[in-house]
Structure 1
Amino acid sequence: MHIKETDTLLFIGDSITDAGRDRTDSASLGGGYVHEIARTLHAGAGHGPAVINKGLNGNRVYDLEARWTTDVLDHRPNVVTVKIGINDTWRRYDRGLISPVDEFETCLDRLLADTARKLAARLVVITPFLLPVTPDQEDWFEDLTPRTDAVLRTAAANGAQVVRADLALHRAAEAKAAAELAPDGVHPSPLGHRIIADAWLAAVDSRLLGEQG
């Protein structure tokens, strides 16, 4: 996949995508990986594709489905990136709110298939991730690992490009403390967001990484 200046890139997901964006300003990209990707895409002459951030903190996959038409389809993007899953796991452990993996997978599959059918859009899926900073977070992998597998299956079934944010951050955690990359194990630091952005750029259009320097 090569990103073109005429493309419209839409990112949707939870707080990791949201990253503090101003929801009263449609041009706001927040301070996270979406902003970092846009900054790279618009480097140099300042021209580049349109970038839209529709992340919303606290969202699970079912919340995405409830707003998919207005927040994705109505914008007519031709590249759609989805980052979801960690809240579907987290809510099990902090609120006892279960998101069965099979239902999660069916819902995500429905969103991707519907988008491809209605928009003929190129699809990108970012894997959920966790960098445990407390002992109890280690237990979350019981839920998160099969959920990540479900994300990968759904991406493959719909021809979506996969961005392995989980692998990129785990590699980085071999040299850095987990809390330096995600202070609470979930929400990335600026460095963590840059790593996700670079993983997206490498997976989606590796030429862009070479243009940064």
Structure 2
Amino acid sequence: MLEKNSKLIFIGDSVTDCGRDYDAEPAGWGSLGNGYANLVNAALTALYPEYRIMVINKGVNGNDILKLSARWQKDVLDLNPDYVSVLIGVNDVWRHFDNAVFQQRDDLVDLALYRQKYQDLIDQTKPQVKQMMIMSPAMFEPNRQNPMRAQVDQYRQVAEELAHKNGLLYIDTQKAIDHFLETTSSYILTQDRVHPGDYKGHMLMANTWLNAIDFDWKRGQ
């Protein structure tokens, strides 16, 4: 579904960041990190070279929807992308379960604020791009009754609702992860149930993203 000579931005938290060099030239060496954004770029370059798709990684470690919103103009709109893929939400949940609870912080993002801020980003961006892709926040946790997984599912449902409401492409990474977990332990892919530990987990995410845009893995054969 991507058009030739397009600019594609991936933006989100550490799952997108994956050690990218913040000082690198956009789409240049070191700029894509070592995660799913890099794998998507590799697939697009290798199998669709004539499309000349420019892939930019704007993931930042620790981001929640508030921090993402604060840098949206600079890291998305000012770059004039054709496509924007967003993965945000797991930190909005995680802060309800980590040391932030004991620090008694007052900046935790509840479900209503998450919905409001996400819709704000969509409103700013949709008129200026060919398409936005909403990736579901996800956990590598098979027990849906687990408190954190249950809350991630609530935020994931909001992301899905907003995608459908606004006519955006919804990419259900949680569904792909759940399918993997039906037969295989989460420890094959992750140590903390949130970050894909290596290329195996990121390959799962990249494959899900590429399939959603009708990428042809047999092209050229």
Fold conserved (TM > 0.5)? yes
| Residues in 1 aligned to 2:38 and 2:63: alpha-carbon distance in whole angstroms | 19
Q: Which residue of 2 aligns with 1:14?
A: 13
Q: TM-score, normalised by structure 1?
A: 0.91
Q: Evaluate the alpha carbon distance shift between residue 73 and residue 183 of structure 1 in structure 2; reply closer, same or farther with a 3 A threshold.
A: same
- Alpha-carbon deviation of 1:110? 0.8
Please, which of 72, 82, 90 is the counterpart of residue 86 of structure 1?
90
Q: Which residue of 2 aligns with 1:64?
A: 68
| Residues in 2 aligned to 1:198 and 1:191: alpha-carbon distance in whole angstroms | 11
| RMSD of equivalent CA atoms | 1.9
- Alpha-carbon deviation of 1:142? 3.3
Q: Count the aligned residue pairs.
A: 208
Q: Evaluate the alpha carbon distance shift between residue 197 and residue 141 of structure 1 in structure 2; reply closer, same or farther with a 3 A threshold.
A: same
Q: Which residue of 2 aligns with 1:41?
A: 44
| Residues in 2 aligned to 1:141 and 1:132: alpha-carbon distance in whole angstroms | 7
SS of the residue corresponding to residue 81 of structure 1 reads strand
SS of the residue corresponding to residue 167 of structure 1 reads helix
- Alpha-carbon deviation of 1:160? 1.0
- For 1:167-188, what per-residue CA distance to the aligned partner results, in whole angstroms no more than 9, with x for missing partners? 1011112232101122210001
| Residues in 1 aligned to 2:146 and 2:44: alpha-carbon distance in whole angstroms | 36
- Alpha-carbon deviation of 1:5? 2.8
| Residues in 2 aligned to 1:44 and 1:132: alpha-carbon distance in whole angstroms | 33
Q: Which residue of 2 aligns with 1:147?
A: 155
SS of the residue corresponding to residue 56 of structure 2 reads strand
| Residues in 2 aligned to 1:180 and 1:171: alpha-carbon distance in whole angstroms | 14
Q: TM-score, normalised by structure 2?
A: 0.88
- For 1:120-146, what per-residue CA distance to the aligned partner results, in whole angstroms no more than 9, with x for missing partners? 33110100111139x9x9220232121
Please, which of 151, 163, 177 is the counterpart of residue 185 of structure 2?
177
- Identity among equivalent positions (%) equals 31
Kindly provide the amino acid, as one letter, of the partner of residue 54 in structure 1.
K
| Residues in 2 aligned to 1:175 and 1:211: alpha-carbon distance in whole angstroms | 30
| Residues in 2 aligned to 1:209 and 1:111: alpha-carbon distance in whole angstroms | 32
Kindly provide the amino acid, as one letter, of the partner of residue 171 in structure 1.
H
Q: Which residue of 2 aligns with 1:130?
A: 139
Kindly provide the amino acid, as one letter, of the partner of residue 39 in structure 2.
E
- Alpha-carbon deviation of 1:71? 0.1
Structure 1's consecutive aligned runs of 4 or more residues displaced over 6 angstroms after TM superposition are none
Gaps of 5+ in 2: none
SS of the residue corresponding to residue 97 of structure 2 reads helix
Q: Evaluate the alpha carbon distance shift between residue 73 and residue 139 of structure 1 in structure 2; reply closer, same or farther with a 3 A threshold.
A: same
Asked if the contact 1:125–1:163 (Cα under 8 Å) also holds between the matched residues in 2, the reply is yes
Moved more, 177-186 or 39-48: 39-48
Higher helix fraction (1 or 2):
1
Please, which of 96, 102, 110 is the counterpart of residue 120 of structure 2?
110
| Residues in 1 aligned to 2:72 and 2:79: alpha-carbon distance in whole angstroms | 10
- Alpha-carbon deviation of 1:212? 8.2
- Alpha-carbon deviation of 1:46? 4.2
| Residues in 1 aligned to 2:194 and 2:61: alpha-carbon distance in whole angstroms | 12
2:203 maps to 1:194: yes
| Residues in 2 aligned to 1:170 and 1:203: alpha-carbon distance in whole angstroms | 17
| Residues in 1 aligned to 2:218 and 2:181: alpha-carbon distance in whole angstroms | 24
- Alpha-carbon deviation of 1:208? 3.0
Q: Evaluate the alpha carbon distance shift between residue 44 and residue 82 of structure 1 in structure 2; reply closer, same or farther with a 3 A threshold.
A: closer
SS of the residue corresponding to residue 2 of structure 2 reads coil
SS of the residue corresponding to residue 216 of structure 2 reads helix
